[in-house]
Amino acid sequence: MPEIMRGKMRAAMERSDRTLPERLLEIPRECLYWDRDELFSDCRALQTKILREILSQAEGSVYGQTHGISGKMTPEAYQNQVPISTYGDYLPYITAECEQGEANQLYHADTEMVVATTGSTGKMKLFLESAAGNAAKLLVMAIRGMYMSDVLPITRDNEAKNLTISNYEQLGHTPSGKPILRASGQTARNLRKKSSNMNILTVDFWETAGLTAGDRDYLMAVFALSEIRLSKIFCNNLIHFGRLLDLINARGAEMIADLRKGAFSLPLPAATKARLDGMLVADPARADLLQSIWDRQGKLFATPEDIHAVWPQCRMASCWLSGSVGRDAREVLARMPKGIKCFDMGYGASEGKLNVPMKLACSSGAAAVFSVFYEFRPLTKGARPLFMWEVEDGAYYELIITTYSGLYRYNMLDVVRIDGFFGDTPNIVFCGKSTEYVTVDGQRLYSYEISDLIFQLEQARRWRFDVMQVTVENGQLMFVLGSGAPVDYQEVFAVLDDALRQRWHFGCGGLYVTCAAYKTRAFDARVRDNRGACGIKLPIVLTAPPKAEDIAQFIPADSK
């Protein structure tokens, strides 16, 4: 059978109707599955093809004409002709299309939707999305799913239920009538088209408007408890699932009562309550099982093994494992049974989905060579951005992308590291933002450099910090650390001070040890009614130290 299926992907790649992502999505998934490795075998040829398709769509756009873009450009000519851009460069074009309805601003094609994100800045940004751009994201998701299913066959089991946590609620429409979706909501919507019967949380649930963030979390927790077949957890920042566990431990008695009678006890508007109650099926037998656990220990989750007592079939979690969010994932995974496998959700953003993870518990993945055009700018000031076929293993770069949705040499302001190659395509891992750094003793230290140092010390000393942040006071680097495990912070300070002096030739200015509630409060401050913890990344660099009520201990520099 595989021999019969092979070759259809290659034939689709050689056609010229529509874009490559759209053509590849048309062929049977089985054919794509058997030939997928070929996509990573010649990155230069495929990247050149992708670029020409993108630039051909740009030719008839306002942006393309303004910048002299041609579909016949070579990568070198394109790099010399078109300047590196940031989000502000696109605002006039996005405004013209969204608010004035003026089409073909960034590409010569219809706009399917507008994607909204707050990202790491906390400020709302809107991105136009073409059919080809959405297809490129769908293709990455499909191929990610294929590699995931190789190591986690449970993802192919239709009876194994998904708990997918996202920011799903639609944000309305633009004045020109285009739907506005949150970035993670767009991903969840696309996933549910393929796996609707697997999902515990339905489209109707996510489209229920007018819920507070707290109410939505409560409802999610009850729905999760109602399904004994919960097997797979999908959540960008796994901390959101950890918060649900905490909520269940705090209000589990109410939730079990709701499940027993098939109605929610929350004080909600009558119409909203009627809609939601209709989604919950009364299950006295399930309630009895949960109640027996509650009566025995006063909570449902006292130990990691209790996850399997509540959900015997729970086998995997998929989440972000890189950057600061990777620390959050590690904290929550420590609360789960060791038999639960973890697979990276993949590096991506509103602008594009950018890599394809292939291994368990690995934060890197092959660059999505078939989805966007990549450039990698060395962190050395004034260095020329490199093409994918020019990068070096182990090197750090600032990532620049060109997309089917009208971003041209767009600086993601992300630092990525090359982590080997798959075929001749580099594996990339997100490390941090190039805008997040501190300056100490005349030296610029990126947040990822500090994070890497702490991670190395954690491995060497068997520490685990659930909170890892820094701030600068009076020109000195101050650390903000917290752990759910016992730690000798006087020892931590001494080791940190020595490590800083060896690497950067200055010492530690002081160490703030956070209280147990600090991290919860930090997330609470950022959660909104339509934006849950699943999409939040706490900063590594703080503009000021934590508040006095958040500090359990302070170790000054003279304590060494």
The DSSP output letter for 515 is P
Residue 151, token pair as written in the block: 């190591």
CB 185 within 8 A of CB 374: no
Q: Which residues contact 418 (CB under 8 A, 6 or more apart)?
A: 376, 391, 392, 393, 394, 395, 397, 426, 427, 428
Q: Does position 121 have pLDDT exceeding 70, yes or no?
A: no
Tens of pLDDT along 123-143?
Answer: 788 999 999 999 999 999 999
pLDDT at 181: 81
pLDDT at 120: 52
pLDDT at 197: 76
Of 241, 236, 242, 266, nearest to 254 (Cα)?
Answer: 266
CB 402 within 8 A of CB 409: yes
Q: What's the average model confidence in pLDDT over 158-173?
A: 83
Task: Return mean pLDDT, the chain.
Answer: 92
Least confident of 1-15, 46-60, 155-169, 419-433: 1-15
Q: Does position 412 have pLDDT exceeding 80, yes or no?
A: yes
Q: Which residues contact 70 (CB under 8 A, 6 or more apart)?
A: 55, 59
Q: Does position 169 have pLDDT exceeding 80, yes or no?
A: no
Q: Does position 316 have pLDDT exceeding 60, yes or no?
A: yes
pLDDT at 5: 56
The distance of Cα 110 from the centroid of its chain, to the nearest Å, equals 27
Burial class (CB in 10 A: 0-12, 13-18, 19+), 83: exposed
Q: Does position 65 have pLDDT exceeding 90, yes or no?
A: yes
Least confident of 137-141, 144-148, 202-206: 202-206
CB 317 within 8 A of CB 361: no
Q: How far is CA 559 from CA 473, 491, 509, 510, in A?
A: 17, 11, 10, 9
Tens of pLDDT along 82-96?
Answer: 999 999 999 999 999
CB 282 within 8 A of CB 264: no
Q: How far is CA 350 from CA 219, 365, 405, 533, in A?
A: 27, 18, 11, 17
Tens of pLDDT along 233-269?
Answer: 999 999 999 999 999 999 999 999 999 999 999 999 9
Q: Does position 186 have pLDDT exceeding 60, yes or no?
A: no
pLDDT at 295: 97
The DSSP output letter for 297 is H
Type of residue at 80 = N
Tens of pLDDT along 336-364?
Answer: 999 999 999 999 999 999 999 999 999 99
Task: Identify the three-state secondary structure at position 557.
Answer: helix
Tens of pLDDT along 498-531?
Answer: 999 999 999 999 999 999 999 999 999 999 887 8
Residue 263, token pair as written in the block: 């109605």
Q: How confident is the model at residue 400 (pLDDT cuts 50, 70, 90)?
A: very high
Q: Does position 1 have pLDDT exceeding 50, yes or no?
A: no
